[in-house]
Structure 1
Amino acid sequence: MKRLIPLLSLLILLAPSTVAQNSQKIVFDTKDATNYYLAIPPESPVIRGVLVLFCSFGPPESILPETRLPQVTCTNEILTIVASVKGALYLDTATTQRISSILQHVTNRFKVDTSKIAIGAYSYAGSTLLRYTELCYQHPEKFPVRPRAIFTVDGSLDLINMWQWCERQISKSYDPGMTGDARFISNALRQGIGDLKNNLSLYQALTPFNLADTAGNELYLRHTALRLYYDTDINWQLTEKRNSLYDTDIPDATELVNRLLLAGNDKVEFVAATRPGKRNDGRRTPTAMSIVDEPECIQWLKQQLEILDPRTWNPPYYLPTPPNWTSEVFALPPDFAPAISLKGVEHVRFAPGWGELGKADYWTYVYLWWVEGKTAPDAAALQKYLTAYYEGLIGRNIERRNIPKEKLTPVRVSLAPQPGAAGGTRYAGRIDMLDYMAQRPMTLHCVADIKYCAAAGRTAIFFQVSPQESGHPIWKEMQAIPQQFHCEKQP
């Protein structure tokens, strides 16, 4: 178990920071201004995922100086929400309603994809949010989201063990702070639930995990990605607090992970901290957000939320790369064109002379939009997407290339249906725009092929683009790329 945050430490935690200055304080209950959360938007205008980080026994601001998670998420197109469950030690009706109200308000205000939401829980909020997540999967019709992933940081897991920990600490009476916390928690549990002896069934219903019950509530997490972070420096516990391993949540955490592994959940992990827990004021304590390796944690979250990371992207399809051509991967919609309503991956093949003025293959490239679900955009829809795409692409280059206003020209896209390739639909036309590299008007000839990959549940939209007319030899090389494409990886 862990110490509650004392008032002095809380005042230190509230010191201003860059993230705090960039955060938005949003009241989700118009009847009570104290019911609010903090929103830290990503640097990109596109939100590809959401991390809702909950603390307890303190306001949302108390978390910001303790972790770099918001700084990392904002550079990874993830919206961070920081909220508090206040003094909740378990998931009662009021806390359930509070969490649901926050999540519902976030999804409505930011128009986020509810399948791309992860939850983080710090300290005593761990028990509360784990049980909430279980209920989201047990009764999905009653909750606004089903979290795709959840992690806890020194989280409490077993309410029954929490009661027994209080009894041990009070009896031991070694550390005044922990003894005081144990008395406070014991009284709160007694007032809210009752004593353990006479209310065991209620504790079993409220706890997310019960060591004595091998078929408990944790089985509702068997399809959810889960990480449990702990500072495992037991020598510090023994020396400083006279706590054995059984005075911590670590044994419960390892048992919970093992049960879920046995239930077939291969997305669950016990994470032993590689650095000691320290608060922002320098105090050594296992209950600290510092035990989380923030960049590594966010990479894990992106993987669980299926947010593209170009460095690790492993395409499930085969897309050839001609000799000397280069390749890049981006998320769809791109950050410079958030108005594009399609979601997925953009995979580009650049001709060798793409950026070299005077080359025959200047501005010549092929790009695949690997789109979630089945879609069949017509000419009007494709024109709308491409207009937004190239307006954004040019717009992001105006300042960095010092393009004067008098050189700017509007983007105009015109496409018409053409005889399609086998099993697909084809459109062809032109894109009139500003060549931001040469800073002069340019026409790109464009062919768009659409094919549905039923086994993958994805739509492949290919764009072949070049200033050269269709009879130029470069088109034969470009056309070979979509012709050799396969919806599945080739052996």
Structure 2
Amino acid sequence: MLKKIFLIGLLGILISCKRDTKVKAETKTTTQTVKTENYTLQKIEENSKGLLILFGGFGENPEAIEREFNILKIAQKNKISVLLMNYSQKLWLETTDKTYLAQMLQGTIKQHNLNKENLYVGGFSSGGLVSVLLSDYIVSMKQYHIDPKGVFLVDSPIDLLELYRTSEKNIANNFSDVSVQESNWIINTLSAKMGEPKNGIAPYENYAVYTHETNNTKNLSHLKNTKIRLYTEPDFKWWKEQRMAEPEQTNAFYIKALAKSLQQKGFKDVNYIATKNKGYRANGHRHPHSWSIIEKEELINWMLQD
């Protein structure tokens, strides 16, 4: 009897030890946080499986990205380092902007010994424009050696020509104060750089990710062999009720058109992801134009695929 009790007790100890070992294995991933004026980095200390670089929407800093897109814990669990960029006030990129960003990322990756072999770049709204335009530039230039395996954008205003025209309609409708103020700023910003579309659309084609009117995708031409994801939430009812906007005035309309265009042009891996009722801001407010339309776990799985 004593022998039986001893064996049961010993078995209990062994099982307990195994459980303790399992818990340690699950929680041993450690990170280092680095903050500079240009970025916030959550670095996986050992055996990193990849690097995710994120650009925020207009005016978003790293803290705002982290608040609206709570990706850090999931990334840490899966051994993915995350670089939150403090670069967010661009609707287009000049060549000097691209060079500056490419050199900064190259230097940052080297300085912190980050995993550049499984590198992904993405962003929300205007940050999505930066992500794809910059990625196209990096791939086209051989000296950086940090080519992304995948890029993605989240409900970005990819067609600057249509953004201008939509802004004109918003001002004429005079339905939403927020929309009118934003539209006036957009028209002033775009026309100062590219002129009025009635005088020619070539400048808009030169800077935009996509121009629907001419099916122009030249600014993505170097991403033919790069994995691309285009996220959007085409809630046309919400836009009609909240902004009095028609489908042709939404980012979702042109993102879907871009996906079709790239697929027809032979791009290797283009995934159009249209969500439903996922768009909510961190404060709980419903808005289809939000980071939250991304399924975070699924995004990480996409990064870890061969």
Give the TM-score of the pair, scaled to structure 2: 0.82
Match of residue 146 from structure 1: 147
- Structure 1 residues 176, 142: closer, same or farther in 2, change over 3 A? farther
More helix by share: 2
State the alpha-carbon separation in 1 of the partners of residues 216 and 279 from structure 2.
Answer: 33
CA shift in 2, pair 1:143/1:168, >3 Å: farther
Give the 3 Å change call, closer, same or farther, for CA 70–199 of structure 1 in structure 2. farther
Q: Which residue of 2 aligns with 1:361?
A: none
Per-residue deviation, 1:52: 0.3
- CA distance in 2: counterparts of 1:291 and 1:255, whole angstroms: 19
- What's the counterpart of residue 262 of structure 1? 264
1:46-61 matched pairs, under 5 angstroms: 46-55=47-56, 56-61=58-63
1:395-414 deviations in whole A, cap 9, x for unaligned?
Answer: xxxxxxxxxxxxxxxxxxxx
Q: Is the CA contact (8 Å cut-off) linking 1:100 and 1:144 kept in structure 2?
A: no
Instruction: Supply the distance in 2 between the matched residues of 1:119 and 1:163 (Cα, whole angstroms).
Output: 27
In the alignment, the residues of structure 1 paired with residue 189 and residue 215 of structure 2 have an alpha-carbon distance, to the nearest angstrom, of: 27
Residue by residue over 1:357-384, the C-alpha shift from the partner in whole angstroms, topping out at 9 and shown as x without a partner, is xxxxxxxxxxxxxxxxxxxxxxxxxxxx
State the alpha-carbon separation in 2 of the partners of residues 219 and 252 from structure 1: 18
CA distance in 1, matches of 2:163, 2:226: 24
Structure-1-length-normalised TM-score = 0.53
Q: Look up the equivalent residue of 2:112 and give its one-letter code.
A: F
User: What is the count of residue pairs matched by the alignment?
Assistant: 274
**Deviation, structure 1 residue 134:** 2.2
**1:200 and 2:214 matched:** no
Paired residue for 2:35, among 25, 34, 37? Answer: 25
Distance (Å, rounded) in 2 between the aligned partners of 1:113 and 1:67: 22
**Structure 1 residue 155 displacement after superposition:** 1.3
| C-alpha distance 84-95 of structure 1, shift in aligned 2 (>3 A) | farther
In the TM superposition, residue 199 of structure 1 has moved relative to its aligned partner by 5.0
Name the structure 2 match of 1:74: 76
For 1:45, give the aligned amino acid: E
In structure 2, do the counterparts of structure 1 residues 237 and 67 end up closer, same or farther at CA, with 3 Å as the change threshold?
same
Q: C-alpha distance in 1, partners of 2:268/2:137?
A: 21
| Matching residue of 1:245 | 247
Amino acid in the other structure paired with 1:297: L
Specify the alignment match of 1:87 in structure 2.
89
Deviations 1:123-143 (A, max 9, x none): 112223222222233x32364
Per the alignment, residue 384 of structure 1 pairs with none
C-alpha distance in structure 2 between counterparts of 1:215 and 1:280, whole Å: 35
Residue matched to 1:222: 224
Residue 466 (structure 1) aligns with: none
Q: Please tell me the root mean square deviation across aligned C-alpha atoms, in Å.
A: 2.1
Instruction: State the alpha-carbon separation in 1 of the partners of residues 202 and 144 from structure 2.
Output: 24
- Structure 1 residue runs of 5 or longer lacking an equivalent are 1-20, 27-34, 307-491
Note the 1:96-245 alignment, pairs <5 A. Answer: 96-137=98-139, 139-141=140-142, 143=144, 145-198=146-199, 200-214=201-215, 216-217=217-218, 218-245=220-247
Closer/same/farther in 2, CA of residues 144 and 203 from structure 1, 3 Å limit: farther
* Segments ≥4 residues shifted beyond 6 Å: none
Which structure's relative contact order is higher, taking Cα pairs within 8 Å and 6+ residues apart? 2
**Corresponding residue SS for 2:109:** helix
Calculate percent identity across the aligned residue pairs.
22
Q: Structure 2: any 5+ residue segments left out of the alignment?
A: 1-30
1:165 partner amino acid: T
Spell out, residue by residue over 1:256-301, the C-alpha distance to the aligned partner (whole angstroms, 9 max, x if none).
1112222333421111124331111122112211111100111012
Residues 72-121 of structure 1: CA deviation (Å, up to 9, x unaligned): 11111111000132311111244323421331122211223433211011
SS of residue paired to 1:212:
helix
